[in-house]
Structure 1
Amino acid sequence: MKRRNFLHLAALTGLGSLNLPIVSAGSMESQTGAKNYAGNDEIQTDVCIIGGGLGGCAAALAVCRNGLRAIVTEETDWIGGQISQQGVPPDEHQWIETHGAPKSYLDYRVRVRDFYRRNYPLTDEARNKVNLNPGNGSVSRICHEPHVSVAVLYEMLLPYLSNGQLQIFLGFKADTAQLQGDNVKSISIRSIDDDKKINVKAKNFVDATECGDLLPITKTEYITGTESKKETKELHASETKRPQNHQAFTVCFAMDYQADVDNTIDKPTDYDKWKNYVPNISPAWSGKLLSLYYSNPRDLKPKQLGFDPRGIDTPGMLNLFNYRRLIHKDNFKPGFYQNDITIVNWPQNDYMMGNLIDVSEADFKKTVDDAKNLSRSLFYWLQTEAPRLDGGIGWKGLRLRGDVMGTLDGMAKYPYIRESRRIKAEFTVLEEHVGAENRILIAGEKEGKKAFQFHDSVGVGYYHIDLHPSNQGDNYIDFPSLPFQIPLGSLLPQRVNNLFPANKNIGTTHITNGCYRLHPVEWSIGEAVGLLIAYTSKNKLNGKQVRSDKNKLNAFQQFIQQQGVETVWRGI
């Protein structure tokens, strides 16, 4: 959150020479260019968006595109959430190049490729690839650097930053809320660096945080953890209700490999603990966590992975180095990149020993610090003890790339959190709506081949239901889903009128969160929320009125379709 980090970003995006409304915690007096902020303790706007991840950015684009003013706050000094500050290349479905996401998300992907074409010395072959994948990572068709994500998102937001419709407050988090009946009147935001507080008044509020931070402070009813099978009747639900049972989170890091250099780091604190750690989960893990074996998510049997930082694939095994590779040097002219760069977000650094939801700030930090130590220990293990096909051990040339992550310690700025508080919504998506097996049991062999068709659809998405091991002893829960829709009812709290979720905090269950939590779906949720706010503001309605009236709902769906939102799947 320091000014020097912002200035690096400003230089990258071309914002440094402009007087734009971006406020960075700890340097507000010298850095603010906000037209409505001059060190005041209170600001008024149309929409207050807490959280600068993909959902928050999509919501901001939607409301500003439709003439409203907005404020976005972000805890770190990077917007972008899981795609940037958390270091996770986009997990997407197989149709993403043509459809299955809002036009604005597809535009983001085009802009990423154009950014590389404009600014990087690509080879002629790479430059001419329509679907350029900068990293050629196998996890995504568009693996790219976190810095580029931030730059492209700012590029998309730039017109509204420039004309004063949008203000971004970096290094701020929500502190308290002022309520009036079933409405939020204002949110107090606090600078992480110096505890400076600003009260933000708005007509509508968006919770785009990674953990659903606005829900407790606004007294919005919510659910955490695992529902019981008795509650949801879901095929894969837990037998018991466990509110503190959440998926593992991960502190990602970037690395490359210098073959002729010894980059071995100092032995991390608690390395021996992590070296010998066997996850206490059921069904049993494959053995030690720091190993090239893990539990296959589909059948939970031990499965061997490959690892070779030279990029050489191991026959019959996934090479983890290539899996989330951000930069493949062969896409660029010789000598521009000395080495490939990859992101480590693997089973081996999933942190299963603690919970980040509904805990104190001190406990949150302590748990994240322990997860960072796990990631450092994994890196040290790869340098010193990982088995090699040639019979040797370790790859001493591996190098932490903190510059790629924008940090000094090499770790991501923020943990990759897979599960949040979830609103008690007007409608909750269950496994029977989107799970392939459960759907057939409910709807029959013919109808069950498609996900449930929601009358109030405001977007589409797809990912298999993918739950990582949990902090209370569950192993992977991973099974097929069906291309699904996002129902408007899942975005509406049962009671509160003017607070909307725009991250992993929508009306899903522990199970269905597993397919609604990935990059394009989060963007779709933020887009739908932003468009709902724009539409209801113009027509003097609220979200519940739109959903409950067939004519109003149809008009709203036509409105969002005209702005590039798909509400039904094409060709499926």
Structure 2
Amino acid sequence: MSRSQHFDLVVVGGGLGGVSAVLAAARLGLRSVLVSECDWVGGQVSSQCIPPDEHPWIESVGCTRTYRDFRDRVRSFYRRNYPLKAEARTAGRLNPGSGNIGPLSHEPQVARLVLEEMLAPWISRGLVTVLRDQRAAEVTTEHDEVRSVLVRGPEGEEAELTGAFFLDATDLGDLVDLAGAEHVFGAESSSETGEPHALPGPADPYDQQAITWAMLLSWNPGTDNTIDRPADYATWRAYQPPEWPGPLLSWEVSDHVTHRPRLRPLFTEQESAGGVRYDLWHARRVLDAAHLEPQWGDITAAAWPMMDYSRLPLIGVDAPARELALLEARQLSLSFLYWMQTEAPRHDGGRGYPELRSRGDLTGTPDGLAKMPYIRESRRIRSEFTLVEQHIGVAARAGLEGAERFRDSVGISAYRIDVHPSTSGRPTIDIDTWPFQIPLGSLVPVRLRNLLPAAKNIGATHLTSGACRVHPGEWTVGEAAGALAGFCVRRKALPSQVRSDPGKLGEFQSVLAEVIGVELEWPRYEALTPRHRFGYVLESTPALSERTP
């Protein structure tokens, strides 16, 4: 028999969006429950082993107050607990791993501990409850409202959760599906969205982005850490995806912009003009031995193009098919590790890097793989307003300066439209975008009144969701959803009423800005010029080194 528990807010999904949602709701005095399918909270930054992927201005503008607090706490954690050299300890913008992916590349277990620290006082006050290793199994709805969610643990234990609002912060939009909310998945047709880079033919729901089962690796010279040959190694050793220039297990990849063959070795001695090494090892290195006293070595997060699994989709298929896809993704990652340890051409001559050691002691898993796969695409709600390429894409807004401005902004974000290879054999899509706002309309479902998206399941398209899915974007969406639920409970209003009523909207935006600490618009910018990573450089008035209010 299941036990029943009542909360103001039920948040299903323990990733960054789920964590930020309950933190926002707690600040508004709501009692929330966070249902995490893993024992680690944090999703992509922790259980999925993906260090923060952020826009170029993250140090000064473009995130919420609590996301900045999270970043500050990560740096403080290293300063307090690691034997940092003096130069690293006093660095104002310490990057623990010196990873190329962003200015704050750090270990996933540190992210988990920091997030637990942020949740701890609210748990102590009784405003946040965390249920771990639990998944939503059933949803009860009545009169266009969610009434309850039945969650189930690994041993079959169950709990029925009731509440005023229900938030979906899962990686695949599981609650949206279980609740019967109108949604879409896969790739839309350009005839439907008008997007220049959408599919020219009919929509394809099974055109879904690759997933990656990441791992942590350390470099241990003079040791042999070769793993057992994976069961499916022969299959993956011979596999060549439709969009790939050759065998997937090699150092040659398909360039994400040009789609031409490009070498991405594990190590390279070549440096760019800025002294950056664009090899695999330094891309997502999460611990840089140069920052530490002797007896420490590098640790990197392996989530590389050769590990992108795109053979089978996860959404819209039955449970056995989904389990097969996840199993194959694990086998691909282990096969790539075995290939690197045994067959890969070395940068210094010879073959194989047996010095590579998988760090299951840091991931909490027996094989060194992350606890959860990195999933880039979710079910997306049918919402009152849909964010499309024409709102944020540089090329799609030819002749216009900046992204579309939204009167109902609930946050800001910035990331290129980055869509990985798909299960339909389509190559990467990489499109320059302007820094943009997240409209409240993209969080309001067309029918269900008390269900809100809190991750990458907002009202966006296959393309624009690729610009909203990374760490600060997911955090902002979750925080906006948690605050919206809290506001609606306190004002006895519905999300659609908040959006349609100028007075309520203005009051809610004031709560976001003043109480929660959400930036609602980007600073004014004067000039945008080509830039390799995003396609632009933003110069603001005042300078970006000054934080906006």
Structure 2 length normalisation: TM-score?
0.93
Q: Alpha-carbon deviations, 1:487-542, whole Å to 9, x = none? A: 00000100000000011110000011110111000000011011111111111111
**Cα separation, 1, equivalents of 2:448 and 2:387:** 19
Aligned residue for 1:122, secondary structure, equals coil
Matched residue type, 2:422: S
**Cα separation, 1, equivalents of 2:227 and 2:81:** 33
**Cα separation, 2, equivalents of 1:514 and 1:439:** 18
Matched residue type, 2:231: T
* CA apart distance, 1:40: 6.8
What's the counterpart of residue 534 of structure 1? 486
What's the counterpart of residue 54 of structure 1? 16
2:158 maps to which of 197, 201, 219: 197
Are residues 1:564 and 2:517 paired?
A: yes
Q: Alpha-carbon deviations, 1:439-475, whole Å to 9, x = none? A: 11xxxx2xx2200001110000001110000011100
**Cα separation, 2, equivalents of 1:178 and 1:304:** 51
What's the counterpart of residue 29 of structure 1? none
What's the counterpart of residue 229 of structure 1? 190
Matched residue type, 2:379: R
Are residues 1:481 and 2:433 paired?
A: yes
What's the counterpart of residue 395 of structure 1? 353
1:509 maps to which of 461, 469, 474: 461
Are residues 1:83 and 2:83 paired?
A: no
Matched residue type, 1:329: A
* CA apart distance, 1:93: 0.5
Q: How does 1:421-460 map to 2 (within 5 A)?
A: 421-440=379-398, 445=399, 448-460=400-412
Kept in 1, the 8 Å contact 2:2–2:160? The answer is no
Matched residue type, 1:376: L
**Cα separation, 2, equivalents of 1:293 and 1:438:** 31
Q: How does 1:26-425 map to 2 (within 5 A)?
A: 41-191=3-153, 193-239=154-200, 240-281=202-243, 285-308=244-267, 313-315=269-271, 318-335=278-295, 337=296, 339-425=297-383
Aligned residue for 1:46, secondary structure, equals strand
Matched residue type, 2:269: D
**Cα separation, 2, equivalents of 1:363 and 1:169:** 27
**Cα separation, 2, equivalents of 1:377 and 1:232:** 39
What's the counterpart of residue 536 of structure 2? none
Identify the range of structure 1 (79-88 vs 265-274) with the bigger mean alpha-carbon deviation: 265-274
Structure 1 length normalisation: TM-score?
0.89
**Cα separation, 2, equivalents of 1:118 and 1:315:** 32
Q: Alpha-carbon deviations, 1:277-323, whole Å to 9, x = none? A: 11123xxx221111111111111111111222xxx533567210111
Matched residue type, 1:404: L
Aligned residue for 1:486, secondary structure, equals strand
**Cα separation, 1, equivalents of 2:236 and 2:320:** 22
Kept in 2, the 8 Å contact 1:434–1:483? The answer is yes
Kept in 2, the 8 Å contact 1:306–1:314? The answer is no
* CA apart distance, 1:362: 2.8
**Cα separation, 1, equivalents of 2:115 and 2:303:** 23
Q: Alpha-carbon deviations, 1:261-287, whole Å to 9, x = none? A: 111112111212211211123xxx221
What's the counterpart of residue 18 of structure 1? none
**Cα separation, 1, equivalents of 2:486 and 2:221:** 54
**Cα separation, 2, equivalents of 1:292 and 1:77:** 34
Aligned residue for 1:195, secondary structure, equals coil
**Cα separation, 2, equivalents of 1:45 and 1:518:** 29
Aligned residue for 1:203, secondary structure, equals strand
Aligned residue for 2:335, secondary structure, equals helix
Q: Alpha-carbon deviations, 1:209-241, whole Å to 9, x = none? A: 000001121111100101001101101001221
**Cα separation, 2, equivalents of 1:292 and 1:412:** 22
Kept in 1, the 8 Å contact 2:2–2:158? The answer is no
* CA apart distance, 1:373: 0.5
Aligned residue for 2:375, secondary structure, equals coil
**Cα separation, 2, equivalents of 1:318 and 1:150:** 28
Aligned residue for 1:437, secondary structure, equals coil
**Cα separation, 2, equivalents of 1:219 and 1:200:** 18
**Cα separation, 2, equivalents of 1:93 and 1:315:** 22
Matched residue type, 2:147: K
Matched residue type, 1:568: E
* CA apart distance, 1:361: 2.9
Kept in 2, the 8 Å contact 1:229–1:237? The answer is yes
Aligned residue for 2:357, secondary structure, equals strand
Q: When the two structures are aligned, how many residues end up with a matched partner?
A: 519
**Cα separation, 2, equivalents of 1:196 and 1:389:** 52
Kept in 1, the 8 Å contact 2:11–2:33? The answer is yes
Kept in 1, the 8 Å contact 2:100–2:278? The answer is no
Unaligned runs of 5+ in 2: 526-549
Matched residue type, 1:382: M
Query: How well do the aligned residues superpose, as a CA RMSD in angstroms?
Result: 1.2
Identify the range of structure 1 (357-366 vs 264-273) with the bigger mean alpha-carbon deviation: 357-366
**Cα separation, 2, equivalents of 1:505 and 1:106:** 23
Identify the range of structure 1 (381-390 vs 365-374) with the bigger mean alpha-carbon deviation: 381-390
What's the counterpart of residue 546 of structure 2? none
Kept in 1, the 8 Å contact 2:12–2:35? The answer is yes
**Cα separation, 1, equivalents of 2:45 and 2:316:** 24
**Cα separation, 2, equivalents of 1:214 and 1:453:** 30
What's the counterpart of residue 548 of structure 1? 500
What's the counterpart of residue 464 of structure 1? 416
